Chains A and B, each alone.
Chain A
């Protein structure tokens, strides 16, 4: 089961996850549906984010559901684009074109949630 982080524990949880998973500990998958402007925006945003905040410790896969529709069910995708943070736990789904960097960083536990 996923452990729900308490507001103050974010950093601790993050660091714990970091030690547990070792190298390449961020596993991200971006699910897109074809070459739409939203898709492109999302890809750019994710790449930028990874390079700026997760350099050297992330794994990113970009999945085009138009090419691999069977993966939508397996990954429980509803909306597009969706960025799934599989590791570190907890699992998070970020839906949208990721044009709000702050929200994305918070959702990925890279920035403390504002209180």
Chain B
């Protein structure tokens, strides 16, 4: 029906499954209007994925579906899916879903002569037409092989069935049990050639992981690796690695690290939002405390923070942080902080999926993973790096600022982080213990901080009763770092020296004062001497003048006595 139309389309039309990871992996979903074979061993989730395809089709994409079950009764199915959050009976009542249990009971059946499976065709056709179904699941049609002995007829009829499904234009999932040598026990892959998906359930190192692989997808590119998936109360989650590209938007917004001293080392405001921060250090170097500060700062801003603790329980962390004056309890009660504490015993992929789910449920802006080192026990270095890469990409896409702590073991070089993840990180803080003067002290290095000017100096990292403090470290006379009591000692020494200097300089200024006083005394003496001289000189001058006046007076007197001219009035006045 649609077949010929579809061939003219450049891209194969696809039916989205609604299972996010699977749709990314298949580039949009299952081939539309064609059957897909879903095979795998017992208990690996075939029925669940198939039903999820129908339920999501019915609820999200407006495509009703028919589920033909050969193994489980419809009541059992409905009950199983209620525990996974889908009420099938409601969908059935809304005519969005049709459930049909096909009972194949060997003991009831007698074969007498030639037959075909037209009964099944009519039955399925009726269900499809009744609700206008676009999707069909046959789970597991191989059951027919156990009920009917004439495999020649059966095979011919199955071939006809798949062609008939295509003609109907329905997107179908046919499930099949994994065979010993072939994909399915009865070779169904022979008939369903368009798309084959294989599920697997493996236990390695006592950890079981469900995996999905697309064996074949005719006419479409697809991811070829095995991808882990998880079944829990929210249904199926699948996490393809390749679906994540480096397309995230880099934010220029900054978030405080919770330590003013550390923010200052990064030029003030703190980390970029959406960046990934690695805090590595030896045991007991204060990684968790640093994380707690970050979490507390987030809570104070009213941002949500999700903390994955792989070594300590939530109550242990809150108790320990109370001892350095950080009250995380309050943040938890406000709903700003959530702990997800778990021993890393399940597989790596399971953790990745769990983290995804938790993040999607809580929608935090900040995530703390403490520590990532525990993952290394769960897989090879390459696997761990791949997993962390995906994790970091995921956080970046969500614009989540993520802080990872990493334990560096004593024997290894401090800058050699586990799994070589440091290159993935935007900010790398190294916490180090320095042993000197019979004590160990913590120092913090800011080894790298992408996209911002940052301090290249080492800071001493103090855990005090009111939180973490960063102090400048001292360089000793020999150029060695001085921390702890050595630093305190040097501080005291310097203080003493400065006191001495202060005393010396105040002594000098007193001497200067004395000198000034002496000089001024001398100046006063000279001035006094000069005063005396001046007075004497002035007296001399005055006497001279008086004598000259007397002489002039005498002359005027003599003239008057000689009855000379009339005296000059000026001279007369002068004398008066």
Distance in angstroms from A13 CB to nearest chain B CB is 15
Near B by CB (< 8 A), chain A positions 75-108 give 76-82, 90-100, 103-104, 106-107
Does B477 belong to the interface (CB within 8 Å)? Answer: no
Near A by CB (< 8 A), chain B positions 488-533 give none
Q: A72: which of B103, B116, B119 is its contact (CB, 8 Å)?
A: B119
Distance in angstroms from B128 CB to nearest chain A CB is 11
Distance in angstroms from B387 CB to nearest chain A CB is 47
Contacts of A78 in B (CB 8 A): 102, 104, 117, 119-120, 123, 144, 147-148
Measured CA separation A70–B126 after assembly (Å): 7
Q: Are the C-beta atoms of B126 and A107 separated by less than 8 Å?
A: no
Does B568 belong to the interface (CB within 8 Å)? Answer: no
Q: A107: which of B110, B122, B125 is its contact (CB, 8 Å)?
A: B110
Contacts of B116 in A (CB 8 A): 33, 38, 79-80
Contact residue range for chain B?
Answer: 20 to 34
Known: A73-B126, A91-B108. A96 touches B114 (CB 8 A): yes
Contact residue range for chain A?
Answer: 20 to 34
Q: Are the C-beta atoms of A100 and B113 separated by less than 8 Å?
A: yes
Distance in angstroms from B499 CB to nearest chain A CB is 101
Q: Are the C-beta atoms of A73 and B112 separated by less than 8 Å?
A: no
Q: Are the C-beta atoms of A97 and B125 separated by less than 8 Å?
A: no
Measured CA separation A4–B113 after assembly (Å): 24
Does B164 belong to the interface (CB within 8 Å)? Answer: no
Does B109 belong to the interface (CB within 8 Å)? Answer: yes
Q: A95: which of B107, B109, B123, B126 is its contact (CB, 8 Å)?
A: B109
Does A62 belong to the interface (CB within 8 Å)? Answer: no
Q: Are the C-beta atoms of A95 and B102 separated by less than 8 Å?
A: no
Contacts of B113 in A (CB 8 A): 38, 41-42, 96-100
Contacts of B117 in A (CB 8 A): 78-80
Which A residue sits closest to B107, measured CB to CB? A4
Contacts of A104 in B (CB 8 A): 110, 112
Contacts of B107 in A (CB 8 A): 4
Distance in angstroms from B151 CB to nearest chain A CB is 14
Does B76 belong to the interface (CB within 8 Å)? Answer: no
Does A60 belong to the interface (CB within 8 Å)? Answer: no
Known: A66-B122, A76-B103, A80-B118. A99 touches B112 (CB 8 A): yes
Q: Are the C-beta atoms of A82 and B110 separated by less than 8 Å?
A: no
Does B100 belong to the interface (CB within 8 Å)? Answer: yes
Q: Are the C-beta atoms of A100 and B112 separated by less than 8 Å?
A: yes
Contacts of A65 in B (CB 8 A): 118-119, 122-123
Measured CA separation A100–B113 after assembly (Å): 6
Interface 0/1 of B89-131, CB less than 8 Å to A: 0000000000010111001111111111111101101110000
Does A31 belong to the interface (CB within 8 Å)? Answer: yes
Contacts of A24 in B (CB 8 A): none
Known: A70-B126, A72-B126, A76-B102. A96 touches B115 (CB 8 A): yes
Contacts of B100 in A (CB 8 A): 73
Measured CA separation A99–B112 after assembly (Å): 7
Most buried by A among B104, B117, B123, B147: B123
Measured CA separation A42–B114 after assembly (Å): 10
Does A69 belong to the interface (CB within 8 Å)? Answer: yes
Distance in angstroms from A90 CB to nearest chain B CB is 8
Contacts of B102 in A (CB 8 A): 76, 78
Binding site for A on B (CB under 8 A): 100, 102-104, 107-120, 122-123, 125-127, 144, 147-148
Starting from the known contacts A65-B122, A95-B109, 12 additional A-B residue pairs (CB-CB under 8 Å) come to A38-B113, A38-B114, A65-B119, A78-B120, A79-B116, A82-B119, A94-B109, A94-B110, A95-B110, A96-B114, A103-B110, A103-B111
A-B contact pairs, 19 of them (CB 8 A): A65-B118, A65-B123, A72-B123, A76-B102, A77-B119, A78-B102, A78-B123, A79-B120, A79-B148, A80-B116, A80-B119, A81-B115, A82-B115, A90-B108, A94-B110, A94-B112, A104-B110, A104-B112, A106-B110
10 smallest beta-carbon distances between A and B, as pairs = A96-B113, A69-B126, A77-B119, A72-B123, A107-B110, A97-B113, A33-B118, A99-B113, A80-B118, A103-B112
